[in-house]
Chain A
């Protein structure tokens, strides 16, 4: 044996509803090599130390959006966060903030799924289009207008970062607004007026106070803060100019 095996402490917030009244911390000592992600650390715990540890993961390469968790209090993808950046200090791991904890590191994201559905995340054509007309043509500039907002992997780090969502869970939130904006600014889409009602509502963009942390933590550089804040201007325009438009804009 050449070297002593290095270890690192990973402290996990545990919660098993069938036996726990509330979450509690548990520290595990995990063998450390400098190429390990936090996800690998948590997988080691499940494989060798405590099989009851529950967490979501899939691609382990920062594209599926499953493995989001709080790492030392910061919303992060555990597959993209490395133990070497904390070693030899203890790493604290907790379920994504602002969501109810189902079990250990697994959160309840049903509310978010409902929000995604509510924004009508598909092209709503401007007019009827036949197959014979062929495909839509789009210039690089038109693609550029929405491409960054289409990069969202629904990892929910932005919701864990957003204190306004934490204080009011009915707030539509960063990722849903980014996706809504992605469709509104897509040259193929004509559904902006239909989506306005959500933006204008009390659950809409004015819950945002421009903290900006959502865009800081986004692993795909979507800049959801930009989508939300651009739509404050859109919503205000709709509010003040609605009596001028022939159909009166959104209700």
Chain B
């Protein structure tokens, strides 16, 4: 019990004093997971929209792949990305292994199915007749997709939250492709694992508290946006 209280107190001190090492770790976590989420939105929203609104042969198979991808174990993703980025691997010449970029790639692979799956569900639950109504009002294809995405904005914000939540909290892939190198690839989750294995529980708890506060802050902002657009 003392350990937990010590940890919370320590977390408070580190935040108040602006512990440079903790700030650096927190910032890298936000940057890596933020970039991975952004990229997965850029790819996943169009992909999910196409899967949700169109009909073509093989569509169901792709949907089943996306749904499976939503439950991919991060460790497996880390392993596959490692194999590709390893010096002797197919993409070894890029020298990305143990860099933040490797972590972004791994996290992108984790969050992409989540964002795609949520987008698919969001666009699929729209009334199919709404498409006809919007077209009948004189919308071009581009305007149609824009209006439909706007209509599905509440579940789409849930897609962002779920995608970000999946990567900010994962540890397996980041550990494997990033290597938890201090000052270079150490993020919140890998730091917690490292401190825990060193036996510095108070520091680990302090980092956990900060990580949870970070996740809460991001989701709080997104929730505000979501709920405001609901009442607007």
Say whether A associates with B: no
Interface residues in chain A, defined as those with a beta carbon under 8 Å from any beta carbon in chain B? none
Interface residues in chain B, defined as those with a beta carbon under 8 Å from any beta carbon in chain A? none
